[in-house]
Structure 1
Amino acid sequence: MQNTPLNAADFEAIEDTLLQYGDDHSVLNPCELDGYFTALVSGPAQVDIAEWFPGIWGGENPAWETPEQCRQFIDLCVRHINTLAEQLTNAPQAFKARFEQTEHQGQDLLLAEEWCFGYLRGVAVGNWPEMPAPQVRTLQLIIDCAEQDNFELPADLNLDQHRQQVAAIEPAARALHAYWAAQR
């Protein structure tokens, strides 16, 4: 069960839990959580659950209604982390970030801001050290996307430029994982 990829119902349970217990300092949705976990499994060292779990909640664990609810959430998180680690290690080209989808001016559009914000949270919790310039530039692609405000897309959004920026995120995540994996 610890290595079974999550299904739609699992992600819905994660989202419900994040909404129930989250606040302005916590991970807010499954997309952000996916970015967070991607950075955690990609970094220079394994991060213990005692560090990454409170990081979901902004440093403070929630006051769970029941121990079972906490166990279920942890199980879903561990399954997803294991899936990401397995995928990035053994089939990196199959890695797909969990981006949000929206419609803008009648066209489908992927939004990567929250995923990237979660990734940067994972970089911070993983305490990544300085990297060489090529890896810094790669991480900058994620940083730049995290700094966008996609809550209200501007009417004059350059769709081609936006799509190119989002398309660069998954290769950047793969490259950073490969860099740190070679250092371990």
Structure 2
Amino acid sequence: MPDQPLNAADFDVIENTLLQYGDDHSVLNPSELDGYFSALVSSPARVDIAEWFPAIWGGQNPDWDSPEQGKQFIELCVRHMNTLASQLALDASAFKARFETTEHQGQPLTLAEEWCFGYLRGVAVGNWPQMPAPQAALLQSIIECAEQDNFELPADLNVALHNQRVAAIEPAARSLHNYWLDRR
């Protein structure tokens, strides 16, 4: 089980835990957590749990209802990080970001804002240094997506352009992982 990717029930536990202990300064949902972990496993240097775990909660660890609950959450986080690290390092085509979906004018629409916001949180915790222009441009595409306000989609949303921007996020994350992997 420790090597197994998380299943839907595991992600439900993560979501419920984030809702129970989170606030305006913490990671809010599994999509944001997935982006956060994707950046952490892509970082130029290993980030210790003592740094990345409190950052999930905005800097302050939760006061768990029980030690078992905290242990379960940490184990699920580590399993998911290991899955992401393996996917990105060994089979990047298997890497799929946990984007959210919504409906816009009767059609399904993929939202990447929360994932990108989590990714940028991971970049900050990982203390990423400046990168050459091509890699900086890849990161900029994630930054721009994180700055979009997808909570209230405009009626005149350019869906084709939106989809094009979202489609660029996973390849950017793969490329950034490869860039740092080659320099570790």
Q: Do they superpose with TM above 0.5?
A: yes
Write the distance in 2 (CA, Å) between the matches of 1:20 and 1:159. 34
The match for 1:142 is 142
Shift of 1:2: 2.4
Task: Tell me if the contact between 1:2 and 1:82 (Cα under 8 Å) persists in the aligned partners.
Answer: no
Structure 1 outlier segments of 4+, above 6 Å: none
The match for 1:182 is 182
TM-score (norm 1): 0.99
Shift of 1:164: 0.1
SS in 2 for 1:141: helix
The match for 1:60 is 60
Task: Tell me if the contact between 1:99 and 1:112 (Cα under 8 Å) persists in the aligned partners.
Answer: yes
The two structures, once aligned, show a CA RMSD in angstroms of: 0.5
The match for 1:37 is 37
The match for 2:156 is 156
The match for 2:122 is 122
Task: Tell me if the contact between 1:38 and 1:119 (Cα under 8 Å) persists in the aligned partners.
Answer: yes
The match for 2:18 is 18
The letter for the 1-side match of 2:166 is V
Write the distance in 2 (CA, Å) between the matches of 1:113 and 1:45. 25
The letter for the 2-side match of 1:157 is L
Residues 82-105 of structure 1, C-alpha deviations (whole Å, 9 max, x = no match) = 000000000001110000011100
- Give 1:78-89 correspondences, 5 Å limit: 78-89=78-89
Write the distance in 2 (CA, Å) between the matches of 1:95 and 1:103. 24
Instruction: Give % identity.
Output: 76
Task: Tell me if the contact between 1:27 and 1:58 (Cα under 8 Å) persists in the aligned partners.
Answer: yes
SS in 1 for 2:182: helix
Residues 24-48 of structure 1, C-alpha deviations (whole Å, 9 max, x = no match) = 0000000000000000000101101
**Are 1:132 and 2:132 counterparts?**
yes
TM-score (norm 2): 0.99
Gaps of 5+ in 1: none
The letter for the 1-side match of 2:140 is Q
SS in 2 for 1:183: coil
Gaps of 5+ in 2: none
The letter for the 2-side match of 1:177 is H
